[in-house]
Amino acid sequence: MRALYDVPAPAKLNLFLHVLGRREDGYHLLQSVFVPIDWMDTLHFERRDDGQLRRHDLTEPLPAEDLCLRAARALQEASGCRWGVDISIDKQVPSGAGMGGGSSDAATVLLALNRLWGLHWPRARLQALGQRLGADVPFFLGPGPAWVEGIGERLSPVALPAADYFVVKPAVSLPTREIFAHPLLARDTRAAIVEDFLADPATFGKNDLQAAAQALSDEVGQAGRWLEARFGNSRMTGSGSAVFAIVPARNGAAAAAPGVEAQWLKELPAGWVGRLCRGLEQHPLSGWASD
């Protein structure tokens, strides 16, 4: 195999995000449900025979040493593989949004190179490597929606009802470190169990990071109010700044009509981006690593 083209890297939403405490090493203990959505980056891979790792930015420029190159290097070193790769990235998921775009790209790199380089590593081995790159990376290695605990490394598959989400990313991007250090961050939410969430996924819980994010930027609150006015609900995902609403069925049907989503997008303030997204029952690369 010499190349893989049009390989997807989906974003995710946190349907809730609770902070239960903090470990002695400073990492926060979390509970959340992650769902992949059909807002995606697209990556292309061409194998190199000289062992070099190169990245090519097809849209917005990325940092010189981003998670994609770090993921490729980590897999190359851990496997002892002599191949290299050219990675081209069509970046569509907004950065600084709390949607996991960089972590998803890194996971797609691991899955694609596992196939392109003929390594045949099982999912668990890739996830152990991915955890060293970032807490969200193991989730994006599949297979789909998950109940998340610990610092993000403990994943349990969870079946979710089909849902549409309208996702809004304000112009501002928020520094995750400042949010986790903010005095408004609650760190004592009581632990829940999966059954609590499944009893009413649409209304369960909250995002414990949202108050801190709104204190740092009123745009997060503005986005929430914009969504509340149209869909009757809103919640920030991750550490923000993106905010989403579950689209009620009647609006979901209307959204399928030509021009409805376009009209919502016209109503967004300048510099904001948004998209009507579908929650995915499976990661699109769920079959690319064995269990």
Indicate which residue of 41, 105, 136, 164 is catalytic.
136
Indicate which residue of 12, 41, 105, 164 is catalytic.
12
What string of DSSP letters covers the chain?
A: --EEEEEEEEEEEEEEEEEEEE-TTSPEEEEEEEEEEEEEEEEEEEEESS--EEEEESSS---TT-HHHHHHHHHHHHHT---EEEEEEE--SPTTSSS-HHHHHHHHHHHHHHHHTT----HHHHHHHHHHH-TTTTGGGSSS-EEEEETTTEEEE------EEEEEE-S----HHHHHT-TT----PPP--HHHHHH-TTT---BTTHHHHHHH-HHHHHHHHHHHHHHS--EE-TTSS-EEEEPPHHHHHHHTSTTHHHHHHHTSPTT-EEEEEEB-SS-TTGGGS--
Q: Is residue 136 annotated as a catalytic residue, yes or no?
A: yes
48 within 8 A of 83, measured Cβ to Cβ: yes
Q: Is residue 12 annotated as a catalytic residue, yes or no?
A: yes
Active site residues: 12, 136
